[in-house]
Amino acid sequence: MSKDPENIPLEEQPVSYFRIGAFFALALLLGYLLVWLVRDSNNEPVEVYSEQEIREYRLPDGSLAWMNRNSYLRHPIEFDKTVRKVNADGEFWLELEPEASGPFMLAIPGGVVQVKGKGKFHVRSLMNQDLVEVNLAEGSAVFEIGKGRFQQLTPGDHMVFEVKSGDLRVKKYANDNYNYWLTGEITFDKTPLAEVLQDLARCYGATFGPLPAGTADCRISERFTGAALPEVLAALSTQTGLEFREDKQRVEIAGSGCGEELEE
């Protein structure tokens, strides 16, 4: 007489290898899905906004980035072993750690800045503007514009790239005024007045009227820390004899200035 399968003791029931295999296959599949989900979660990019404040931010490799107001960074949670890539829009000062996982690449509107090894540099590139500015203080860098066009940069180089025209200029910078937004300091050492006004326009967001004839090369030596624009203009007036009239961030300039009596 055959036994009722439902009444057969567990130890006497035949082993179903198919069921065991299916169980392990299901466990393996669930484990794979779990790993995939975790990996996918780990690859989610990190997005950082400075909004209306200057922000200090540490990247996954320990490098530091100072972000000017209204700036943006995007990077993976962890850098891979071949490259440390960050997407950015705005203005930054970066101090890079030595490459533990490949060179550092900063992708900005207008190009890519690649730095090998330890480095310090300033970059300014806004999506709604036509200008890219890079100032390299330490390290070795390359600016890649695209289509096989590269510009090598060495410490002390000030690079300006006009995106639409493709015009690129490199010269040695005479000061660190590009970091005024971070340090609050402006320094001039026998700097031509025309260059002084360019720096002030950038630092204060002011617009300057035309210089009187013969005054563009007036030499200025001055250092300002946390100074408001009227204070700076008063010092320039004392040095040059020119009159600076400010009205709603527009500065008009009058006078002859830089006469022999001032140079003496």
Write the pLDDT tens digit of every residue in 117-157. Answer: 889 999 999 877 789 999 999 999 999 987 789 999 999 99
Q: Is-contact 227 234, C-beta < 8 A? A: no
In the prediction, which pLDDT does 129 show? 79
Q: Which domains does the chain have, with CATH numbers?
A: 46-172 (2.60.120.1440), 177-263 (3.55.50.30)
Q: Contact 87/59 with Cβ under 8 angstroms? A: no
The more confident residue out of 252 and 99 is 252
Determine the average pLDDT of the residues in 75-82. 90
Instruction: Report in angstroms the alpha-carbon separations of 81 from 78, 99, 255.
Output: 10, 10, 61
Q: Is 195's pLDDT higher than 90? A: yes
Residue 260 clears pLDDT 60, i.e. is over it: no
pTM here is: 0.77
